[in-house]
Amino acid sequence: MKNRFIYLIIFIFFVYPICQAQEKMPAALAPMGTLGNISKTEKQIIFNSLQESLSTYYLLASQKSFEKAQDQAFEELDYEECTEDQCFALIQQILQVDNLFLFNLTREESFTQLSLTRVDLDSQRLVRTILCKDCDIGTLNTKVDELVLKIFKEDTNTDGLSIFNEKESESSFQQPSILKGKVMYVPRDFFKHVVEYRGHTYALTRYRYTFQGAQNMAERFGGHLVTVDDHGENLMLLREYQTKHGDNGVWIGFSDREKEGTFVWNDGTSKGLFVYSNWGKHEPNNWKNKEDCTELRFKSWNIQHMPVGGWNDVDCSHSFLAFIEWDAIGLKHDLSEAKKYPLEPVEQLDSSGFGMGWKLGAMAFTLGAGLSSLNQAKAYNDLASKNKSLREQYSTANTVEERNTLESEYSNNQKQMNAAKSTIRTLDGVTLAGLLALAYMYASEDDDPVKVVSENNFIKPRNSGLQFSLLENHMHLGWQWNF
């Protein structure tokens, strides 16, 4: 009985708080704004109380992390993009938080107003205020707690305000994504150069993530890390995005995190023996037993080892841009529109080219014809060699009977040689037709149309200068100009 009591105490004080913390939504808090006669000490006390209250319900990022993200946002945003909403969206993306809180304290004579604003990933705002007359610091701290609790309750109960953390409550709403409870849409703040291809939508993230971070971000918007089904799709990604940024590689949704050596796609598919892949030479190699995720290379450190467009397994903790795929076209750019007109996920349309079955069949047919032609050529050469020997024997034959026998055998061999020659010509024609068919099958993969939905250039580094990087075991040093 005593041991049970001890276990209960341990659970209450250690295990239960951890479980609760795992359910909290990530959030960040901007510096506090004030207006009126408010001392620095009073401001700091109230801000400390606000941080404590928010951390009760949310996983709150540190102020140092916020300041660092804010500086990065100012550096990356162009002047025309530098609006409040754009800046907030970028900070949320850098910190990978769902919610951003803004707090303002305004005082006029004996009246004090407290205002707390919650900004979500779709830039939608939830604002709540409290007006207090002749309130001391203790009362204001209590009012801060009330504001936070009010926001939290509405955040978790109001339809649409926390779609990434709870299921849709409207019975008439059909789940439009492969991910239950998610709505498919492409917010402008997080993606650039959106294209439609074979009935699906593709985009490249504007910022870099770990593999898991990219996967989480894709799921927030109803998508998934890209599944590359064939050479045509791999080539499309290369053609559409290679010149849109300066990165060496981009995440695709292929990993063996669950079972070493067994790569599966992020959308849950693994297409058996003939699944398409485009690994570089000696890849995947699981270098240092740490490489379980896959990048599509846009630059090569050794063209023989890793061609442009090839795949390389890397450490999942690295940070790269990521290809995101949605299983539909005609996606909206904001959540409210996406919820009004939800889209059902669809299978990707077949390539206008030929599938692996056709290619394997053509390869087998061509190879069979080629081998048969070689066998017939060998038989022809053997018969020609025999006839040469018969001619020599004929010239030395002494009797008519012996000469007649040699003439008969020579004539039969000549007929077989003529038949073999005809067969060889036919088989050579079939082999040539098979090679041409294979060439057409592979060439036709490139014919699928790509529709550009959003044509935007990625942000380039502002400053020219000396560029240094270490890739695999190679050091790269050079000067980069940016205009």
Q: At 248, which helix (H) or strand (E)?
A: none
In a domain, 256, yes or no: yes
In a domain, 2, yes or no: no
CATH code assigned at 128: 3.40.50.10070
Q: Are 267 and 178 in contact (CB under 8 A)?
A: yes
Query: pLDDT (tens digit, 0 to 9) for every residue of the chain, 483 residues total?
Result: 445 445 444 444 444 444 444 457 788 898 988 888 888 888 898 888 888 888 888 888 888 888 888 887 777 665 455 567 777 777 877 777 878 899 988 988 888 989 999 887 667 788 888 888 888 888 888 888 888 888 887 766 533 333 333 333 232 223 333 444 478 888 877 887 899 998 899 999 888 889 998 998 888 888 999 999 888 889 899 888 887 777 788 999 999 888 888 898 987 666 545 578 889 888 888 888 889 999 999 887 677 778 888 999 999 999 899 999 999 999 988 888 888 888 888 887 766 666 666 777 888 889 998 899 899 899 899 988 888 888 888 888 888 888 888 888 888 988 898 998 899 999 899 999 988 888 877 766 556 778 887 665 433 333 444 444 333 333 444 444 433
The residue among 366, 357, 326 whose CA lies nearest residue 344 is 326
Same domain, 476 and 346: yes
Same domain, 209 and 339: yes
In terms of Cβ atoms closer than 10 Å to its own Cβ (0-12, 13-18, 19+), residue 435 is middle
Q: Give the strand pairing for 25-29 and 58-60.
A: parallel
In a domain, 162, yes or no: no
Q: How far does Cα 226 stand from its chain's mean position? A: 4
Same domain, 208 and 108: no
Q: Give the strand pairing for 224-225 and 264-265.
A: unpaired
Q: Are 195 and 452 in contact (CB under 8 A)?
A: yes
Tell me how far apart the alpha carbons of residues 52 and 341 are, in angstroms, rounded to a whole number.
40
In a domain, 204, yes or no: yes
| 3-state SS assignment for residue 210 | coil
Tell me how far apart the alpha carbons of residues 88 and 99 are, in angstroms, rounded to a whole number.
10
Same domain, 38 and 153: yes
HSE-CB at 262 with a 13 A cutoff on CA atoms is 7
Same domain, 257 and 401: no
**Using the 8-state DSSP alphabet, how is residue 11 labeled?**
I
Same domain, 325 and 460: yes
Last residue of a domain, one of 139, 157, 175: 157
The residue among 348, 203, 228 whose CA lies nearest residue 278 is 228
In a domain, 4, yes or no: no
Tell me how far apart the alpha carbons of residues 120 and 25 are, in angstroms, rounded to a whole number.
11
Same domain, 327 and 360: no
Range(s) of the domain holding residue 401: 356-447
pTM of the model: 0.52
In a domain, 179, yes or no: no
Same domain, 56 and 202: no
Last residue of a domain, one of 105, 132, 157: 157
Q: Are 277 and 310 in contact (CB under 8 A)?
A: no
In a domain, 337, yes or no: yes
Same domain, 440 and 462: no
The tally of domains found in the chain comes to 3
In a domain, 77, yes or no: yes
Same domain, 433 and 360: yes
Last residue of a domain, one of 103, 132, 157: 157
340's CB contacts (< 8 A; 6+ apart) are none
CATH code assigned at 299: 3.10.100.10
Same domain, 246 and 329: yes
Same domain, 228 and 247: yes
